[in-house]
Amino acid sequence: MDHLGVEVDSTEAVHTATARLGEAGLATDVENDTTCCYALQDKVWVHGTGQEPWEVYVVKADADTLAKQQGSTCCAGPAAADSDAREPTPAGSCC
């Protein structure tokens, strides 16, 4: 498993999730207008209690490419996470 995801209906819902996760003391990594898996998306990444990466995302439009935008954690290779770390590490492929 590379990661888990929750698709929501709007960018506002992604922002709400970002705020809720931050208020819970979790480190987040926000990506807006990123191209991933043939879709233009807004998303937030967080790690669960087992250090599994999660994304909360909205698909805003179709995209012509599969590849990630530079700086995006989408479609990246798997990353190891320090089990005591509160900072996000890049997640594995979303595709």
- For the chain, domain boundaries: 4-68
Residue 63 has pLDDT above 60, yes or no: yes
Q: Taking phi first (over 0 means left), then psi (-120 to 50 degrees means alpha), and beta for anything else, what does residue 65 get? A: beta
What is the distance between the alpha carbons of residues 40 and 26, in angstroms, rounded to a whole number?
25
pLDDT value at residue 78: 41
Type of residue numbered 50? G
CA–CA distance, 13 with 19 (Å, rounded to integer): 10
Ranges of H-type helices in the chain: 11-23
User: Would the pLDDT of 45 be above 50?
Assistant: yes
4-68, what's its fold? Answer: 2,3-Dihydroxybiphenyl 1,2-Dioxygenase; domain 1 (3.10.180)
Counted residue by residue, the chain has a size of 95
Structure tokens at 36: 């991933």
Per-residue pLDDT, 37: 87
Per-residue pLDDT of 19-44, as tens digits, reads: 999 999 999 999 999 998 899 999 99
On average, the pLDDT of the chain sits at 81
